[in-house]
Chains A and B, each alone.
Chain A
Amino acid sequence: MHLAYPAVLAALLFCTGLYGVLARRNAILVLMSVELMLNAVNLNLVAFDVWLSKAAEETLHSGQALTLFTIAIAAAEIGIGLAIVLAVHRNRGTADIDKLRDTAEGHGTDSETDGSDSDARTAEQAAQSGRAGKAEATA
């Protein structure tokens, strides 16, 4: 098989996942897109491993081993990621990324009550004084 097929498919899947990470509003949808990116990487690793296992003399099968590790790490990551998303949801009442704007300019001046910041902005040019703290709460 021509090596271009899996490589191109992996590149396309990666960019699809990239679009999803940048364009989706819900945090869980972002995590899904991250999974797509990781899978694209896995496909690349597997394809090259298979190519090299026949094309090279001595291999460690490093591609497939790394693929297994990536899958495991992705699983761990999705677990932690969802826990974080749940904590955010508990604190802010929403999993909407656009509402997590604590690093924005001019953010800290108008929020005296708990709860979400106002979603008054339609474009990204909301000018709020920034606080350097993290948006998420950690125990």
Chain B
Amino acid sequence: MTLAEATATAAPATLTRAAAETHGFLSPTGVEIAFLLVGLVTFGAAIVTVTTKQLVHAALWLVVALGGLAVEYLLLTAEFIAWVQVLIYVGSVVVLLLFGLMLTKAPIGRSPDADSANRWAALVVAVAAAAALVWVVVDAFRATWIDLDGPAAGSTEATGASLFQNWVLPFEALSVLLLAALVGAIVLSRKEKPESSSPPVNSRTATGSSPSVPDSRNHPIGRKGAVEATSATGPPAQGTGSAEQEGGAR
């Protein structure tokens, strides 16, 4: 069992053994029972998320899974993380996902082709990976216990102090990353507006694509230019409306 010994060197051996003395392997505490039950709920919700055929329901079951994880964090005394989880994940990420489903016109109700034909290979891979990971993990941490007594390890005060003393630079870098993501998302989702400032230039858009750009059907400029020339209406107002128009023009 060299793997277990390898991981055990990360922590002082004495404390580990001290923890082992107070707990037998087959005497779960209340925390463990709660953790187990909530874990089952979470796992079940996750399973349903990846198997259900109703796309919106999948997002909602994801909420359950993420909420379950928040409860797990609380049980692990990481309260700040738990509330951040609820705020960001449940609050905004899921909302974004739902918006995305709406904007891409996900079918309401059962959609028969929610799973690709790859699912059997995926199942095999996932089960194999799960078996490997669980076995390795259990084998490695057979005799390791978390000590949950004493002050909370993840209280806001402790987390904040650690964050702004030791992790300031990554924190600032992260904010730059968020800014870049914001800008990128805006740029990606922007549509080409008709150039109303120079009317005679419509001839360029009318040809469909500039000569330097190869006529690739992946390139949005050519397509959108052609669509703009044929639509001949005012600039499209809403995202859904333009999507419908382009869908119709194709």
Contacts and interface: CB of A to CB of B under 8 A. Distances in A.
B196 interface: no
Contacts of B108: none
B21 interface: no
Contact of A97 (B55, B116, B178, B217): B116
A39 B153 CA distance: 19
Interface in B61-93: 62, 65-66, 69, 72-73, 76-78, 80-81, 84-85, 88-89, 92-93
A24 B35 contact: no
A100 to B, nearest CB: 10
Interface string A32-73: 110110010011001101111111110011001101110111
B250 A25 contact: no
Given A15-B129, A51-B144, A36 B65 contact: yes
A75 B173 CA distance: 15
B1 interface: no
Contacts of A69: 170-171, 174
B114 A26 contact: yes
Interface in B184-207: 184-185, 187-192
Interface residues of B, number: 113
B97 A78 contact: yes
Dominant secondary structure of chain B at its interface with chain A: helix
Contacts of A13: 42-43, 46, 65
Contacts, number: 319
A43 to B, nearest CB: 6
Interface of A: 1-9, 11-29, 31-33, 35-36, 39, 42-43, 46-47, 49-57, 60-61, 64-65, 67-69, 71-80, 82-87, 89-91, 93, 95-98, 102, 111, 113-115, 122-124, 133-137, 139
Interface of B: 10-12, 15-16, 23, 25, 28-29, 31-32, 35-36, 39, 42-43, 46-47, 49-50, 55, 58-59, 62, 65-66, 69, 72-73, 76-78, 80-81, 84-85, 88-89, 92-93, 96-97, 99-101, 103-106, 113-119, 121-123, 125-127, 129-130, 133-134, 137-138, 141-142, 144-148, 150, 153-154, 158-159, 162-163, 166-167, 170-171, 174, 177-178, 180-182, 184-185, 187-192, 216-221, 223, 239, 242-243, 246-247, 250
Given A15-B127, A54-B15, A74-B93, 14 more contacts: A1-B35, A7-B137, A15-B133, A29-B55, A32-B58, A32-B59, A46-B81, A51-B147, A64-B81, A76-B181, A79-B185, A86-B103, A96-B113, A139-B220
22 contacts: A1-B32, A2-B23, A2-B146, A7-B138, A13-B46, A15-B127, A22-B118, A23-B115, A27-B104, A32-B50, A32-B58, A33-B50, A39-B69, A51-B147, A52-B11, A56-B12, A65-B166, A68-B81, A79-B182, A83-B185, A83-B189, A139-B221
